[in-house]
Amino acid sequence: MKTTGLITRRRAIVAGLASIGGLVAARMPRDLPPSYGNLLRMGDTLTYATHRALLPAHSLVREYSLGDLTSFPATGTTNPAVSVKSALGEEYRKLQAGAFADWRLVVEGRVARPRAFSLAELKQLPARTQITRHTCEEGWTAIGQWTGVPLSHVLDAVGILPTARFVVLHSVDDWVDSLDLIDALHPQTILAYGMNGGDLPIAHGAPVRLRLERQIGYKSMKYVRRLVVSDEFDDGGMSGSIRNGWAWYNGI
């Protein structure tokens, strides 16, 4: 009788684990980012698939009050006019001198109406202000207030095609990154032009940066200049996170 009990328990455990595995497998995103046969990135891909399968698509991160704002380090590129040695850096210096009046955000790719938005045009779209925690992969966190246009409004304005699956972002400091549509259409995913009640400072990505609140800080790209809607995963080549040794999905 004891032996029978043990086998039943073992079967119950196996069945339980198998059904969780089956649930993950069934709800996995159809298009997983390639792991390049790299064991490390397979772990990241497993995390991505599990988060997408088990976590709600539109859960919101915690929003704080004004009294919670903290000091906020600026890391990575903090002024492309100085540190970016290509034509993009020179162009940025001129745009900055003109208070970004001539700055444009190009939105193209798999969209019905490709378009270049000026800063004023972005500000005419419905705005969202959120006070959220920036979680840096280094281990520090900071709370800031961000004002901007939800990326979903920008994508609505250009009309993404039904086959679209990713939004690829290009920055002035030559970084390329991408989001799946669950993150891109998330209500707290915004193109921020304001921080803590003022214009977005140069050091924090002026004139426009991404805020992607359910992932680690480096996914919130600073100095965004171009969005490309894509049907396929684009690793960004030599400018992408993967070739530079970083995980593509970092909700963990």
Q: Where along the sequence are the contacts to other proteins (CB under 8 A)?
A: 6, 9-10, 12-13, 16-17, 39-44, 46-47, 51, 55-56, 59-62, 64, 68-75, 78-79, 133, 135-143, 195-198, 201, 203-204, 213-216, 244-247, 250-252
57 DSSP assignment: T
| Residue type at position 90 | E
Q: In the structure encoding, which two tokens stand for residue 12, read together? A: 């119950």
Shortest Å distance, C-beta 241 to other proteins: 9
Q: What is the DSSP string of 149-207?
A: EEHHHHHHHHTB-TT--EEEEEETTS-EEEEEHHHHT-TT-EEEEEETTEEPPGGGTSS
Q: At what angle do helices 39-54 and 2-27 cross, to 10 degrees?
A: 90
**Other CB atoms within 10 Å distance of the CB of residue 70:** 11
Residue 105: closest CA among 21, 241, 205: 205
Name which of 10 and 163 has its Cβ closer to other proteins: 10
Nearest distance, CB of residue 161 and other proteins, angstroms? 27
Question: Tokens 């977005």 identify what position?
Answer: 200
Q: Judged by CB, which is closer to other proteins: 174, or 183?
A: 183
74 vs 106 by CB, closer to other proteins: 74
CB of 113 to other proteins, least distance (A): 32
Which of 150, 136, 143 lies closest to 64, judged by CA? 143
Distance CA 42, CA 69 (A): 37
CB of 244 to other proteins, least distance (A): 7
Q: Which is nearer to other proteins, 117 or 166 (CB)?
A: 166
Using the minimum distance from each CB to other proteins, give the nearer residue, 42 or 101: 42
Backbone angles phi and psi of 115, in degrees to 5: -160, 155
**Nearest distance in Å: CB 239, other proteins:** 15
Nearer to other proteins, 135 or 147 (CB): 135
For the bound state, the minimum distance from the C-beta of residue 144 to other proteins, rounded and expressed in Å, comes to: 9
